[in-house]
Structure 1
Amino acid sequence: MTGTLTISAARPRPAGLVARLIRRPSAVVGLALLGLVAGAGLAAPVLYPGDPLDMIGAPLQWPGMDPAFPLGTDMLGRDIAAGITHGARISLMIGAVATLVALVIGVGIGAGAGYYGGRVEAALMRLTELFQTIPPFLFTLAIVAVLQPSIPTIVLAIGLTGWPGLARLVRAEVLRLRDGELVQASIVIGASDARIIGLHILPNVLAPVVVSASILVANAILTESSLAFLGLGDPNVVSWGGMVGAGREVIRTDWFVAAAPGLAIVAAVLALNLLGDGLNDALDLKRALR
């Protein structure tokens, strides 16, 4: 019973978590910004039902010149506001799915290494260290260049390069919990490894994983934007990074073409980082890692 209380104490209660979260200004600002970005993405098909890559206006109209184009148009006459709202959907989708891929790999490898130890841990940690020796962006760039730019390829590449840090974090947490009384009692009564890991270990690793996930989403958005800026984004969809890359050609005369999507990237990444900081405090991650 004592072991149960000791381990379960690390699990945050949903009601208490929300209460602590809304008391933190960084979390509130982050949630508000993220809500705006997500709302723009969800409303994109309603506000701009056409293809955002269509050339529908005169080129290089400044913001405010035409009410139909509140943020102006780019060099080809494409609506910048339509591109930003549709780009929000792409960026958030890529960030979320790539993070999910990294979570599956990182949590799986970290939990396996921490729980089984010995040769299994040594092999999995050497694999993790191998991935950590390769610069993540260069590795992502190489994968996308070889497999051809597309949303599935970009998601896979970002996910494959984002898991090593998470794996090490999960391994450290599992090592801390593996020798707890509840886990040892479960082993004695013959509970399977999958049951022990799934019911008694992973739920108590949730706090640091959630915080890390918010940072991974922000990194994924930055990586996708960087790839698109370099011309390695999916050419069939609008992307914030691609819009910035196209706008650099007229940055001296019509800076708003690159500035508007650039500010969208800043808002999304800032929102996720602020939310991560708020979650870090609300989940009391420092105490959980002791």
Structure 2
Amino acid sequence: MALIDIANGLPRARVGRSHLLVRAARQPSALVGALLLGVIIGVAAFADQIFPGDPLDFAGQPFLRPGADPAFWLGTDMLGRDLASGIAHGARVSLLIGAVATAVSLVIGVGVGAIAGYYGGKLDAALMRFTEFFQTIPQFLFALTIVAILQPTIPTIVGAIGVTAWPSLARLVRAEILKLRHGDMVQATIALGASDLRIIFLHLLPNTLAPIIVSGSVMVATAILTESSLAFLGLGDPNVVSWGGMVGAGREVLRSDWYIATLPGIAIVIAVLALNLLGDGLNDAIDPKQERR
């Protein structure tokens, strides 16, 4: 369905997005996911106010269990660091890495997919072979190799996740562009003398925005899991606290002090669940069958 009506000059892409939000608001999974994600974002945004100070500081007695000390209501780890403070500040790092890495993947994936789908021919074939090459390499192993070779810093981790997660999105965008490339909308725009960039950015990409949003929410969840896995293996940035790093630090005392690794692990599960629920709700809202209900 074309979201921009060229014949009548109506900006239907904006209307389509508003209808998408209305339909998404009717999806229970989207509402639950948005609520959980909103809570996590709120905790991350106000982490400095809720838990002032450096979460990596040795704040109290080591191995305090949850509830043992009112000052450390989720307890402390083996070095006396406040777990609640670490989870709150770690939310900021994990969400930042997930969002920025997804943005990098969106730029690469949308760019490659749009160019391949619009121009077709040999350029399409070359870009798809390039995309398939990246798909043959396991994403996590590729990211792990990049981070292991370079210094494990936040920019390195973001770049490693971003440059390895775009191929599936590129193929999705290419497929959507191919559906619209030879439609009346694009042909009318070409007849009016519009440039290729104008057609791609103003008439084609706005009509692929909905599936890109759904894919983006899932990619953020995947990026958070990837960063957590890298940090669990000791390839996280040692200068910041992250959920994966907290889980990795607590794995050595998992049998005796399970809460050190379990509590940040629960935070990861909630964040990934929220993003997946939000993605499922948006996907149901985009489904044309939902419009007839």
TM over 0.5: yes
Corresponding residue number in structure 1 for 2:56: 53
Corresponding residue number in structure 1 for 2:114: 111
TM alignment of 1:11-26, pairs within 5 A: 13-26=16-29
How many correspondences in the alignment?
287
1:214 aligned to 2:222? no
Shift of 1:285: 6.5
Answer yes or no: is the 8 Å Cα contact 1:215–1:276 preserved in 2.
yes
Shift of 1:67: 0.6
* Equivalent in 179, 189, 194 of residue 191 of structure 1: 194
Answer yes or no: is the 8 Å Cα contact 1:8–1:204 preserved in 2.
no
* Equivalent in 250, 257, 271 of residue 268 of structure 1: 271
Answer yes or no: is the 8 Å Cα contact 1:69–1:81 preserved in 2.
yes
Tell me which amino acid in the other structure corresponds to 1:113.
A
Over the residues paired in the alignment, what is the CA RMSD in angstroms? 1.9
Answer yes or no: is the 8 Å Cα contact 2:67–2:74 preserved in 1.
yes
1:282 aligned to 2:285? yes
Answer yes or no: is the 8 Å Cα contact 1:30–1:273 preserved in 2.
yes
Tell me which amino acid in the other structure corresponds to 2:129.
R
Gaps of 5+ in 2: none
Q: CA offsets per residue over residues 225-255 of structure 1, 9 Å max, x none?
A: 0000000000000010111111111111110
TM alignment of 1:7-46, pairs within 5 A: 13-46=16-49
Q: 1:287 and 1:49 mapped to 2: Cα distance?
A: 46
* Equivalent in 237, 240, 265 of residue 237 of structure 1: 240
**TM-score, normalization: structure 2?**
0.94
Answer yes or no: is the 8 Å Cα contact 2:284–2:290 preserved in 1.
no
TM alignment of 1:89-104, pairs within 5 A: 89-104=92-107
* Equivalent in 121, 124, 127 of residue 124 of structure 1: 127
Answer yes or no: is the 8 Å Cα contact 1:208–1:285 preserved in 2.
no
**TM-score, normalization: structure 1?**
0.94
Q: Given the superposition, is the C-alpha separation of residues 226 and 57 from structure 1 closer, same or farther in structure 2, using an over 3 Å criterion?
A: same
Q: 1:83 and 1:101 mapped to 2: Cα distance?
A: 27
Tell me which amino acid in the other structure corresponds to 1:238.
V
Q: 2:138 and 2:290 mapped to 1: Cα distance?
A: 31
Higher deviation after alignment, 88-97 or 245-254: 245-254
Corresponding residue number in structure 2 for 1:202: 205
Identity of aligned pairs, percent? Answer: 68
Q: Secondary structure in 2 aligned to 1:152? A: helix
Q: 1:280 and 1:210 mapped to 2: Cα distance?
A: 9
Q: Secondary structure in 1 aligned to 2:163? A: helix
Gaps of 5+ in 1: none
Answer yes or no: is the 8 Å Cα contact 2:5–2:12 preserved in 1.
no
Shift of 1:24: 1.2
